[in-house]
Amino acid sequence: MPTTRTISVKDGDVLVLVGTMKGAFVFRAGPARTRWEVGGPFFPGVPVYALGYDHREGRRRIWAGAQSWRWGTVLRSSDDFGKSWTEPEAYTIKFPTESGVALKNIWQICLGHADEPGTLYCGVEPSALFKSTDSGGSWSLVQGLFDHPHRPQWMPGNGGQCLHTILPDPVDPDRIVVAMSTGGVYRTDDGGKTWQPRNKGIRAQFMPEPFPEFGQCVHKVVQHAARPGRYFLQNHWGLYRSDDGADTWQDIANNVPSDFGFGVAMHPHDPDTVYIVPIESDEYRCTPEGKLRVYRTRDAGASWQPLTRGLPQKNALETVLRDALATDAMDPAGVYFGTRSGKLYGSNDEGKSWSLVLDGLPPVVCVKTAVVEAAKAARQKAQSKPPAKHKPAASSAVKTRKRRA
């Protein structure tokens, strides 16, 4: 077994969590993000498709969905940046026995609403949503989505039948948007009791009806807290934006070399700025023209510009998967992505220039970021925070619900 390195983390450090086909790694750097220390591999030899960081109530907890070919997928956590990990005595995320369904993989770990510090969500394969209200101690299947009449018709994409996107609305506590391959986008407006497909305008060119109610192979969806009614979506052919709470979608693939791709990431402070990495075709699945280019829009998709300084522009036949592109919360923002060839790139100036953080990793499937707060200060902030006052999200969908009511 390889030697596992651990790291020492200080308040204010930036973390980049990297999941690969052969284990997980934790990178840390100071606020300047110029020199990186790496810890790992954690769970060597084990695919890790999902990572997350929970900073709420003073926690410093890393979550990992560790997959074992022998034992299945287990959710594990570390409160000391990887020096030790929980060893669950039983599978905490599992389908009810009577469902006849077995968990294949954990694809997404997501924090709940800000005023629900004990709530977590997991998206899994086969497509389903699990929820915990006790900080991950126990989990329950979100039955409303699992019982949806469309579920028997959801089909696996090339990467599996996975629920990979979970977006709790930052304003409306009853609204959550999820996305899956294949199946498309679904939204609940009643806390998960009922779910409606929200795919109007999204193309599924591999189906007889190119604009079906559901069945699209959506690759990733993102949302910005400052503008919760707007979403950006990377599809299996197609790049889209919604300005009405996911009720309808419009194509924004303007001047990009390909509208096929996997990852999409929001700028942490600007709701009009988004990053993507185009991929050439659903068969070839490598960067167009052998050029590794991150594309950025600053006007919500009206135009896109390639960001290439420091990235190879010749014979760079790379693939960046759906969860392998992320931004940090610093100012200026950092942008990071990993490739299937095992390279991790980073930018500390919002994508203007790039550097190779590390080469020689196993194939990268997941990249997440966090900024480490002082634990005591984080607890004090959480304790002093006044109760949240929820207001409906500013979108036409909410207005429609009011009229119908």
All domains of the chain in start order, with CATH: 46-318+376-404 (2.130.10.10)
Q: Which tops the pLDDT comparison, 60 or 398?
A: 60
pLDDT band at 379 (very low <50, low <70, confident <90, very high): low
Q: Is pLDDT at 225 greater than 80 in this prediction?
A: yes
Which one-letter DSSP state was computed for residue 208? S
Structure tokens at 331: 């100012």
Mean pLDDT computed over every residue of the chain: 91
Q: pTM (2 decimals)?
A: 0.92
Structure tokens at 239: 């790049």
pLDDT value for 144? 98
Q: Give mean pLDDT, residues 117-145.
A: 97
pLDDT, tens digit, 9 for 90 and up, residues 38-80 = 999 999 999 999 999 999 999 999 999 998 776 779 999 999 9
pLDDT value for 376? 54
Q: Is pLDDT at 245 greater than 60 in this prediction?
A: yes
> Of all residues in the chain, what percent carry a pLDDT higher than 70?
91
pLDDT band at 91 (very low <50, low <70, confident <90, very high): confident
pLDDT, tens digit, 9 for 90 and up, residues 169-207 = 999 999 999 999 999 999 999 999 999 999 999 999 888
Least confident of 221-225, 387-391, 401-405: 401-405
Least confident of 100-109, 288-297, 376-385: 376-385
Least confident of 61-70, 104-113, 120-129, 345-354: 61-70
pLDDT band at 139 (very low <50, low <70, confident <90, very high): very high
pLDDT, tens digit, 9 for 90 and up, residues 305-355 = 999 999 999 999 999 999 999 999 999 999 999 999 999 999 999 999 999
pLDDT value for 157? 84
pLDDT value for 375? 60
Q: How far apart are CA 381 and CA 386, in angstroms?
A: 10
What is the biggest distance separating any 2 CA atoms in the chain, rounded to whole angstroms? 62
> Of all residues in the chain, what percent carry a pLDDT higher than 90?
83
Alpha helices in 80-236 (DSSP H): 143-146
pLDDT value for 47? 95
Name all contacts of 197-204 with Cβ < 8 Å and 24+ positions apart: 197/150, 198/242, 198/246, 198/247, 199/249, 200/247, 200/248, 200/249, 201/240, 201/248, 201/249, 201/250, 201/251, 202/233, 202/235, 202/238, 202/240, 202/249, 203/235, 203/237, 203/238, 204/236
Q: How far apart are CA 132 and CA 119, in angstroms?
A: 5
Q: Is pLDDT at 378 greater than 70 in this prediction?
A: no
pLDDT value for 396? 36
Expressed in angstroms, the distance from the first to the final Cα of the chain is 61
pLDDT, tens digit, 9 for 90 and up, residues 257-297 = 999 999 999 999 999 999 999 999 878 899 999 999 999 99
